Chain A
């Protein structure tokens, strides 16, 4: 159910070492998020689109993801010209609608879309458990990793439990309406889910204890850093360095 839309492909991007992809995604996002110059942002967006194409991401889910993100971006971009000082394009009543605001909105849109595309192309194409292992090899805090992996492991189960309860309500004639009865019943449903989750967490802890859990998790998986990963790493360094030079060291604006 969860997060499994993208990793079924078999492109070059899918086959890269998850550790390299994770580092590249973080580096690219950090550089793009702090960039301001328009040519740099256009270059970043172009690179991101190229990477998404190389990964062969499924169009439908990708458009839906981008639409969800851009709904927020468009709202911000539409309102920014009111609050950004600059040359007025039109006057709405006595408030100027500025060109500078529109440019700023476009920059934010470019930045956001570039980052979403790169993160989708690089991270959504890694199976979530392998991503966890990559994080572990990169020495990220193990609590964070296991919180993520446990969530992935059990969110599906909770989803099923919710559906079982909801179905049980439905077959007894429950229809959600704007009534007190509806709110009380939904409250019971959520309460029951919480109680069940708590009970389950206790049972899982018991099961872990039975198998000698002492607070440490071990990772079995080991990754092999192949030649294509080296190429990808070099490309990542060149691209991020190029974007940084464009942002901070290029003489003309």
Chain B
């Protein structure tokens, strides 16, 4: 069997002075796999995703990404572009004045030339049905548009893993349908957090439950949170 893209083994985590969020969590993600993480609000699902990209560091246990154990910030920084995290609140993700600048931010940080970045922006927006949004001001977008543009900012970096933190919360049915259609055509491996069963059933294959500070696999087949 090929190496997993991501592997968490015996991960413990607690915020300073608080009771532990995770105690001995194990997780494995293979290429092309789409996993739903379900669990009650406040059980640490967002924390789990933040650990996976190294925004938080485990108090014990190891996180392996792309075949190497990652401990230091520099080791995570190396692979940030290969793991795309979509934040729960699009307002946090879109901080540039215009859509084009926000989408270009990641590619430019990856060392792309200005012309290449402009081309990536054009291509990414077009693939999400957002052509013509380049010069729109991010804070004037609607909630659904903000979410789609956030997804564009993540996809522009061409990640191999997508971590999606409640990508459909607060969106109308039409926009959710649009996001489902987009996600089902993407080749990336995904970890998806959501409370919407229908949505998870459509975009993920397996389910993992976060309960009692551990991750336990649910039955295979369509997600049944």
Residues of A with Cβ closer than 8 Å to B?
127-129, 132, 149-150, 152-154, 156-157, 200, 203-204, 206-214, 216, 218-221
Contact = CB atoms under 8 A, between A and B. Distances in A.
Interface string B92-112: 110111101100111011100
Interface in B6-40: none
B132 to A, nearest CB: 16
Nearest to A127: B137
B24 to A, nearest CB: 25
B89 interface: yes
A207 B106 contact: no
Contacts of B53: 210
A129 B137 contact: yes
Q: How large is the interface on B (under 10, 10 to 19, 20 to 34, 35 or more residues)?
A: 35 or more
A212 B95 contact: no
Given A203-B87, A204-B95, A220-B114, A211 B139 contact: no
B85 interface: yes
* CB-CB nearest 4 A-B residue pairs: A129-B97, A212-B109, A211-B106, A203-B92
A220 B91 contact: no
The majority secondary structure among interface residues of chain B is helix
A210 B55 contact: yes
Q: Is the interface of A mostly helix, strand, loop or mixed?
A: helix
Interface in B42-89: 50, 53, 55, 77, 80-81, 83-85, 87, 89
Given A207-B92, A210-B80, A212-B77, 17 more contacts: A127-B137, A152-B97, A156-B139, A157-B91, A157-B139, A206-B55, A207-B85, A209-B80, A211-B81, A211-B106, A211-B109, A211-B154, A212-B109, A213-B105, A213-B109, A220-B101, A220-B104
Of listed A127, A149, A204, A218, residue having the most chain B CB within 10 A = A218
Contact of B85 (A127, A132, A200, A210): A210
A204 B55 CA distance: 12
Contacts, number: 78
A36 B109 CA distance: 50
9 contacts: A129-B97, A204-B95, A207-B87, A210-B85, A212-B80, A212-B110, A218-B108, A220-B101, A220-B114
A208 B85 CA distance: 11
A156 B137 CA distance: 13
A206 B109 contact: no
Contacts of B118: 220
A213 B107 CA distance: 10
A156 B114 CA distance: 30
B204 interface: no
A204 B138 contact: no
A212 B157 contact: yes
B117 A220 contact: yes
A12 B95 CA distance: 31
A208 B94 CA distance: 9
A152 B96 CA distance: 10
Nearest to B111: A212
A127 B95 CA distance: 16
Contacts of B93: 207
Given A132-B97, A152-B97, A220-B100, A214 B109 contact: yes
